[in-house]
A and B are shown apart, each in its own frame.
Chain A
Amino acid sequence: MSVPVVLPTVQSSRVGKAGFTLGIVIVAVIAAAALAGNSLVPQDPFVQDLGQRLVPPFWMDGGRPEHLLGTDQLGRDYLARLVYGARISLLTGTTTVIMSGLIGITLGVLGGFFGGRVDDVVLFVITTRLSIPVVLVALAVVGLMGSGLGLVVATLGLLLWDRFAVVARATTMQIRSLDYVNAARCAGASTPHLLIREILPNIASHLAVVATLEMALAILLEAALSFLGLGVPPPLPSWGLMIAEGKDYMFFSPWVIMIPCGALAILVLGINLVGDGLRNLLGTERLR
């Protein structure tokens, strides 16, 4: 069965580099804010103040200097929650990518390197995974087993390895009989050595691009699950959960959903720009 992969297209180098730099800056700023956390924003993201509910952000009428981005429906500081939510998003993204990378790359490299029966099995596993509706299954796992950040991350990690496997398999196939691999084999290298020292480093650039795509997807999916109420449990300030909680107030104070949604979109855009830039820099132009 065909297993198509869509990856970002190549841009001309100057524009590509500008995008790459922009992406790095966005991700770095958000990561720095997430790491700095409380030293940057003195307010506690969990402390409620029912006397100060839904204070608008500073640029609107009624904004207050002590709550730069306003407060939510329970009077919790929105900026503090936003910064804490960045932690959750980045943590979800990186952990998911590590897990799914391990699964997908192992499968893909084995299938691509050995071919034959092994590859048939790998292709079957990939096809099966692709036919499973991700959002529904992730929702079901979290819904049936009880919500929690660890469970969400584990579920996404176990589900989002398909692109890793597809790309690792295709690229390994392309290089498995190149001269340097054959030379290493003739020099008496063991199969594990061939896979880890010869194949992996040479497909790493392709996998790095996939990693950025999967990270963006994982962050979006975590937000979607939390938005549907079956992801990160309250009172943890996941961006998706902030959007879900703000939904009831969005008709009167749209900024309640615009702020976390904007943050989410900017982070994902940043990660995608980094991925796009990596592709240009590493010369992994056509990946299919």
Chain B
Amino acid sequence: MLRLIFRRLVVGLLVALTVMTLAFLLTRLSGDLAISIAGPQATQADVEIVRKAYGLDRPHYVQFFAWVGRALIGDLGQSYFFKDSVANLIARRMPITLTLGMVGLSLALIVSIPLGILAAVRENTCVDRAVTMFTMVGQAVPSFWLALILMITLGLQLGILPISGTGTWQHFVMPGVVLAFTAIPALTRLTRSGMIEAMASDYIRTARAKGLSRARIIFKHALRNAAVPVVSIAAVQLGFMLGGSIVIETVFALHGVGYLGWESIAKNDFPVVQAVVLVLAAIYIALTLLADILNVLLDPRLRAG
């Protein structure tokens, strides 16, 4: 089992390194960074000063290795727009994105696991179909639409929740609901199909034959087995949520990491852009690793592999 985790760790590091390369290439796509930083009114001399100041006069590979080397010790460079270190910026914004992500994931799990179980134990009835229809519609509704609808109704017409900002816990309710909504369809369907599969298995028949109560069968025996894929997808979803919350953060003006990414793209602040891509990818890699370990703990059969 330790070997398995070690191998995953090595792969994770390689993936992170590849993402760093891609993030670096991405920010160099726009052509001459010095010109875009200096702005449209800059003279040739200004551009040269900017190029020197940001180390852009060095060959690309030197810039790349300098960035990777510093990133390994936690130094992600300087933002030229915010006049602060990128690591500081991200550290200051991260709690907001993480709070949003956790609120979103918790809400999503609270809704989708019971719904999935309900649909599975009532397979092929109206209840099941209603749940399936709900997930279909849920997948089709764009998150920013839901956000705008909530802002109009709860925020403006009823006036019970703030529309934008981060001051209090109320500020996280609407964004959290919208974010949860993006994950609910997938999680519900996965819980449902996992439960249906588990309920049809031999050990459930045995449990029934032993005369266990229905609740005990569903929650103790079936759910534990159905939870394996749900745990891994939940971790993956949290990764997607943290990366995808950029739309929701922008709509609700939540100044999290996603919003930071959006701002720095608009401002051509390349050190921040490449760092945000890297940090979000690193979180995703860590989450999938964690999910793999959790799965092994949940399902002893996986320990042999």
Chain A residues proximal to chain B, CB less than 8 Å: 1-2, 4, 6-9, 11-12, 15, 19, 124, 127-128, 130-137, 139-141, 143-145, 216, 220, 223-224, 227-230, 243, 247, 250-251, 254, 257, 261, 264-266, 268-269, 272-273, 276, 286, 288
Contacts and interface: CB of A to CB of B under 8 A. Distances in A.
Contact of A268 (B18, B140, B144): B140
Interface string B112-142: 0000000000001000010010011101111
A132 B281 contact: yes
A2 B232 contact: yes
Interface in B245-286: 246-247, 250, 258, 261-262, 265-266, 268, 270, 273, 276-277, 280-281, 284-285
A216 B140 contact: yes
B15 A2 contact: no
B152 A251 contact: yes
B145 A136 contact: no
A223 B145 CA distance: 11
B29 A144 contact: yes
A265 to B, nearest CB: 5
| Residue of A2, A15, A19 most packed against chain B (CB within 10 A) | A2
Contact of A4 (B124, B232, B258, B281): B232
Nearest to A244: B144
Contact of B284 (A133, A140, A227, A273): A133
| Residue of B148, B190, B236 most packed against chain A (CB within 10 A) | B148
A261 B148 contact: yes
B15 A128 contact: yes
Given A2-B232, A2-B295, A137 B26 contact: yes
A251 B190 CA distance: 37
A93 to B, nearest CB: 13
B19 A132 contact: yes
Interface string B58-96: 000000000000000000000000000000000000000
16 contacts: A2-B288, A4-B229, A4-B236, A9-B192, A11-B129, A128-B18, A131-B19, A131-B288, A132-B19, A136-B243, A136-B276, A139-B261, A141-B26, A144-B30, A145-B30, A227-B144
Given A131-B284, A227-B247, A273 B142 contact: no
A254 B22 CA distance: 41
B129 A264 contact: no
B180 interface: no
Contacts of B258: 136
Interface string B217-242: 00000000000010011001001001
Given A136-B280, A268-B139, A254 B152 contact: yes
B171 interface: no
**Chain A interface, DSSP helix/strand/loop, else mixed:** helix
A59 to B, nearest CB: 19
Nearest to B129: A15
Contacts of B124: 12
List the 4 shortest-distance A-B pairs measured between CB atoms, nearest first: A133-B243, A269-B140, A144-B30, A143-B265
Interface of B: 8, 11-12, 14-16, 18-19, 22, 26-27, 29-30, 124, 129, 132, 135-137, 139-145, 148, 152, 156, 186, 189-190, 192-193, 229, 232-233, 236, 239, 242-244, 246-247, 250, 258, 261-262, 265-266, 268, 270, 273, 276-277, 280-281, 284-285, 288-289, 291-292, 295
Contacts of A9: 132, 189, 192-193
Contacts of B193: 9, 286
B265 A144 contact: yes
A190 to B, nearest CB: 33
B27 A140 contact: yes
Contacts of B11: 1, 124, 127
| Residue of B156, B265, B292 most packed against chain A (CB within 10 A) | B265
B277 A132 contact: yes
Contacts of B186: 6
A272 B136 contact: yes
B22 A139 contact: no
A167 to B, nearest CB: 15
Given A11-B132, A136-B243, A261-B148, A272 B281 contact: no
Contacts of A130: 236, 284, 288
A141 B14 contact: no
B292 A1 contact: yes
B140 A265 contact: yes
Contacts of A266: 140
Given A132-B22, A140-B26, A247-B148, A265 B141 contact: yes
Contacts of B139: 216, 268-269, 272
A223 B26 contact: no
